[in-house]
Amino acid sequence: MTVDEVMAQVPAWRGAKSRKATPLEGGITNENHRVEVDGEVFVVRLGGQSAEFLGIDRIRERAAAETAARLGIGAEVVHAVPEEGILVTRFVPGRTLAAPDLGRPEILSRVAAVLRAIHGAPPVDGAFSPFRAAEAYRTVARRHGVDGPPELDDWLGLARRLEATLEPAPATLCHNDLLAANFVDDGATLHLLDWEYAAQGDPVFDLGNLAANADFSPEAEARLLAAYLGSGVWPPDALRRLAVMRVASDLREATWALVQTGISRLAFDFAGYATRHFARFAVRAAALDR
């Protein structure tokens, strides 16, 4: 479906005097458009092909996005057709964050507050584990002719060993894709967008995912935990749990890119993306496994 066809179907836009769509740059899965309708601004997301191979559940995505909007930290959902990958949200004005922003204390405290709000929200249907996701991606990638590096099975086994060192944790609503570009600061509120991978999971994965994507130093990881947990007594495994979830994030990201190498038609170097994340995983995971 094209953006023009979507604009014609949104009930709230019927009878509009003016509608204008402009493609938005960024994103390596979907097609996004900024749409102006009678002076109001929205975003139309057209879902990429074969989202089910990436573990994306559009019904769950809509539920999580609506939850974030109710919490005041997400974009209002205007229209959705999950079975066709269509999501229309109100445009959130403001500054899109970059990775270095996430390490700034004044930003980090606000990010931690957003994550605490998410992790305390009502549940959505569906569970997420970065470890199971990586294993599933390996299988899907091979079905599409992409084997990955020869060490991959050994690395998945290493991830299993690291996972076994962690105590089970209560599942909460998690975002599971904490790139800096998914945060928009309007000066008063820090908004979190793009809920494609949201599900119930270990809240510390969100912290590890953020630390991996922002390439945090050990000092920055400690500051993140302090901002998230406060000044009280930390769980005894807090730092190690974050470290394990950080390497799980890189493994999940690398195997995700293997799937994209096999299925995506976008002009993006998914193979190189996978290689970079596998390299980070191998170094950090080996250090944790000693």
Q: Is 18 exposed, middle or buried (0-12, 13-18, 19+ CB in 10 A)?
A: exposed
Taking the CA atoms of residue 136, residue 206, residue 48 and residue 124 in that order, the dihedral angle to the nearest 10 degrees is: 90
Domains observed in the chain: 3-90 (3.30.200.20), 95-288 (3.90.1200.10)
* 176 CB-near residues (< 8 Å, 6+ apart): 128, 130, 197, 198, 199, 201, 205, 206, 209
Taking the CA atoms of residue 124, residue 211, residue 244 and residue 264 in that order, the dihedral angle to the nearest 10 degrees is: 70
Q: 50, 58, 21: which is closest to 196 by C-alpha?
A: 58
pLDDT in tens, 216-263: 999 999 999 999 998 766 788 899 999 999 999 999 999 999 999 999
Q: Is the sign of the CA dihedral 99, 103, 104, 105 positive or negative?
A: positive
Q: 226, 135, 119: which is closest to 173 by C-alpha?
A: 119
pLDDT in tens, 66-107: 999 999 999 999 999 999 999 999 999 999 999 999 999 999
